[in-house]
Amino acid sequence: MKVKKMLACTLGTAILSTSLIGCGGKKEEAPQQSTVPQTQTSATDSNKEETAVPTDISGEITVLTNRTDIVDTVFVEYAKKFNEKYPNVKVNYESMTDYEGDVLVRMSTTEYGDVLLLPTMDAKQYPDFFLPLGDQAELEKTYRTLTKASFNGVCYGIPTFYVTNGIVYNKKVFENAGVTELPTTQEEFLAAMQKVKDKGEAIPYYTNYKDSWPLSQWEDLRNAVAGDPAYMNNIDEDDTPFSSGKPHYQIYKLMYDLANKGLIEPDPVTTNWEQSKKDMAEGKIGAMVLGAWAVSQIKDLSATPEDIGYMPFPQAAPDGKLYAPIQPDYCMVINKNTKYPDAAKAYLWWFINESGYATSTNNISQKVIDPLPETLKPFEELGVTFFTNAQPAPEKEGLAERIDNAAQIGFYQPDFKTRIIDAAVGNTQETYDDIMNDLNTKWQKGKKEVAAQ
């Protein structure tokens, strides 16, 4: 990620934090529900639409997306199919490589598209930026957990699909290097990466340091490594969550060791996300920590898609078991300032219910009745336990995020991850423990600041 993009992301977060402080003393009014008629069905009836809307809606909407790779192809076809049902709605797409950073900055204005993907932000701010879609409990009769895009029992967004987290790997690269079994510990994974390096045919592990947002894919592993679906709901009770033996320490120690042992790309500052997918598809990269959503993207670029596999993150929980969360990817939301709310809602519900986006990308469907994709068979074979992240208590909704913002750590920002890699490759004099201790200090300051608000 370029420096100016990092600054933009920081600026966007600051804008949202200021917005939160500005409305913090006001009593929240119950948001009005969607004006588009909605008819919910039972979760067991898969042959009916969950949401019905009039077909005579008109307007012009802009849909913001992070899918730079298919915005001019697949999404164009989606618009055509949508127009078969809603011929009077014109759909424009706008894609962004640094989606989080760019959208957060635009949200300081009213011009942030009509339909967009929910960026990382405090749940308390949802009513300030997005239109409500319905009652969370009612919608969860049809869709998997909607916690990520809900606040005070009101749902503001629906996930485009659900994912689990782990490592994308090239089976042929592993096989050629003599890695015959999937590693289930960090020591085994490092040994596998060393074999790939010794073979000399591929980069063992690719960090995507320059684009940097892929580094935050590691953050989604924290509840799994804790073995606790409510771990992040209660992290505010811990003064030292980055200490040895705790999830964040364990997760990022592997990132540090990979870089420190020379098992990553030779020049991290020149990495390229789109090229990395092609290189993985062509057997030039061994592994990357990414959500399961990435598997289909890489397979689509491969002449031998059967070579692309997905494995659990190799770190057991304290009980000795491997876990994996089923959690939402980006949630689709609607700008509360849209001039065409009915058209925006029509597109959102059509995309969720009728586009087939989740299954076509081999990801986990939004529907509670749908089975897991074939990609996750290795997880089941290794005895991985899947769970859904727990709903936080009302008084803790958004609390971890507020502490994170106050501490300026950035769970889902690249800063401390690139700092870890810089230290590991010798660009700085810090040790891994120096960084973790500093993050603990920042966390403690953030807790005090939030407690004083």
Secondary structure (H, E, C), 289-328? EEECHHHHHHHCCCCCHHHEEEECCCCCCCCCCCEEEEEE
* Counted domains in the chain: 2
Beta-carbon contacts of residue 413 (< 8 Å; ≥ 6 apart)? 9, 10, 13, 216
Check: CB of residue 54 under 8 Å from CB of residue 37: yes
Token pair 């030292």 is found at 240
Does residue 43 lie within any of the structural domains? no
Supply the pLDDT for residue 52.
Answer: 57
Same domain, 176 and 248: yes
Same domain, 137 and 173: no
Same domain, 224 and 181: yes
Check: CB of residue 195 under 8 Å from CB of residue 177: yes
**What single DSSP character describes residue 33?**
P
Supply the pLDDT for residue 1.
Answer: 34
Supply the pLDDT for residue 111.
Answer: 96
Q: Looking at the DSSP assignment, which residues form a beta bridge with residue 295?
A: none
Same domain, 420 and 313: yes
Does residue 448 lie within any of the structural domains? yes
Cα–Cα dist 48/28, whole Å: 35
Go through 25-59 and write b for each residue having 16 or more CB atoms within 10 A of its CB, e for each that does not: eeeeeebeebebebebeeeeeeeeebbebeeebeb
Same domain, 153 and 171: no
Go through 233-252 and write b for each residue having 16 or more CB atoms within 10 A of its CB, e for each that does not: bbbbeeeebbeeebbbbbbb
| CATH number for the domain that contains residue 153 | 3.40.190.10
Helix (H, G, I), strand (E, B) or coil at 183: coil
Closest CA to 298 of 375, 353, 357, 371: 375
Q: 72 lies in which domain range?
A: 59-163+329-388
One-letter identity of residue 337: N
Cα–Cα dist 118/332, whole Å: 6
Does residue 104 lie within any of the structural domains? yes
Cα–Cα dist 167/292, whole Å: 8
Q: In the structure encoding, which two tokens stand for residue 197, read together?
A: 């390096």
Q: What pTM does this model have? A: 0.70
Identify the sign of the CA torsion 46, 366, 231, 237. Answer: negative
Same domain, 222 and 289: yes
Same domain, 231 and 340: no
Supply the pLDDT for residue 34.
Answer: 35
Q: In the structure encoding, which two tokens stand for residue 382, read together?
A: 């290794």
Closest CA to 327 of 192, 203, 146: 146
Q: How far apart are the first and last CA of the chain?
A: 33
Does residue 225 lie within any of the structural domains? yes
Same domain, 317 and 219: yes
Same domain, 298 and 427: yes
Does residue 42 lie within any of the structural domains? no
Does residue 121 lie within any of the structural domains? yes
Same domain, 432 and 303: yes
Cα–Cα dist 367/353, whole Å: 9
Cα–Cα dist 132/150, whole Å: 9
Cα–Cα dist 365/361, whole Å: 10
Cα–Cα dist 89/73, whole Å: 19
Does residue 38 lie within any of the structural domains? no
Report, as ranges of residue numbers, the positions in the chain whose pLDDT lies below 70: 1-53
Closest CA to 398 of 150, 220, 73, 107: 150
Same domain, 366 and 405: no
Cα–Cα dist 276/258, whole Å: 17
Supply the pLDDT for residue 14.
Answer: 41
Same domain, 343 and 373: yes
Q: In the structure encoding, which two tokens stand for residue 182, read together?
A: 């999937």
Cα–Cα dist 422/14, whole Å: 25
**CB pairs under 8 A, 24+ apart, for 2-9?**
5/98, 5/101, 5/102, 6/101, 6/212, 6/414, 6/415, 8/98, 8/101, 8/102, 8/104, 8/105, 9/98, 9/100, 9/101, 9/104, 9/105, 9/413
Token pair 């042992």 is found at 261
End position of a domain, from candidates 345, 368, 388: 388
Check: CB of residue 157 under 8 Å from CB of residue 149: yes
Does residue 15 lie within any of the structural domains? no
